[in-house]
Amino acid sequence: MKFKKLLMGLSLIAALAAGGCSKQKKQSEPILTKSQVIKCSQKSFKSGQAKQIVTLGTDTSKQIVATTALFGGNPTVFQLNYQTQAKGKTQSSQEWVDNSNHVYINGSSDWYKADFNKLTGHSYADLLDSIINNSMLMDPPKALTNAYKMTRKGHTYTLKANITDQKTMKDALDPIFTTNTQSPKQKTIYHKLVKLGKIKGMTAKLVVKNKKMYSFQYLVKIRVNKLMQFSAGQSYGNMGSKDFLKIPTNALNAKPLPKTNKKKK
């Protein structure tokens, strides 16, 4: 009898242990819908990297104007890296921009400070709208959300779209045309090229990983004439990598940027 009671006791303990383990098992996360994935991508992000590229090309030549923006900090600051490629040559420069609308430029031995708006034709607020609050990401139009086709691999969701809606494509171009410039004239040139040509299409790709935006990119293609093509795109990556970005300390004592004499003798 004692042996039987011992067996019954052990069986009861095993059953209780099995029941306890089953309760501790985590339920698998539900698969997200497309609208839920889009909402995850719209959660505010403190920092990251955004890149704008405008390309003008023919069968024989290509010109590229690119701006890579590292952004982060509180309040947000931007480190802007400009690059222009044409005729086999590349020109690069770097600037820092803060919320006082000042731009800081590192010269050969000194830092210089200027009014960002006067220098480029756009403002710090324009950078925020173009990069942090870009409407294609933070408030996407129905033409884009409806066009998204979703695939999933584990906790990674990928949304891809092909767009032909003219209004959506023009809206996508505007933030790039506003801030991928180093002079006020560039924006005017961009719009003239679009007016001369026809917007042909747009592609977009959004990746959400573990319920956070991992990357986002879109590209708009324009045909100017039979020989010339024009494209403009914006992309995001390295999210959360620059949360503590700051203007370099030695830049805060910058000298006023010398005025250039435009008169030719």
The 10 Å Cβ neighbour count of residue 138 is 13
Q: Evaluate whether residue 119 is within a structural domain.
A: yes
Q: Evaluate whether residue 210 is within a structural domain.
A: yes
Mean pLDDT throughout 151-169?
A: 97
Q: Evaluate whether residue 25 is within a structural domain.
A: no
Containing structural domain, residue 234: 34-254
The pLDDT tens digits for 188-242 are 999 998 999 999 999 999 999 999 999 999 999 999 998 899 999 999 999 999 9
DSSP-assigned beta bridge partners for residue 242:
none
What's the pLDDT band for 182 if we cut at 50, 70, 90? confident
Query: Distance between CA atoms of 110 and 205, rounded to whole angstroms?
Result: 41
Total-model pTM: 0.85
Structural domains of the chain, count: 1
Q: Evaluate whether residue 182 is within a structural domain.
A: yes
The pLDDT tens digits for 40-94 are 999 878 999 999 999 999 878 899 999 999 999 999 999 999 999 998 899 999 9
List the single range of 23-27, 128-132, 163-167 with lowest mean pLDDT: 23-27
Q: Evaluate whether residue 9 is within a structural domain.
A: no
Q: Identify the residue whose tokens are 């001369």.
A: 196
Query: The domain that contains 119 carries what CATH number?
Result: 2.50.20
Q: What is the DSSP string of 5-63?
A: HHHHHHHHHHHHHHHHHHHHSPPPPPPPPHHHHHHHHTS--S-EEEEEEEEEE-SS-EE
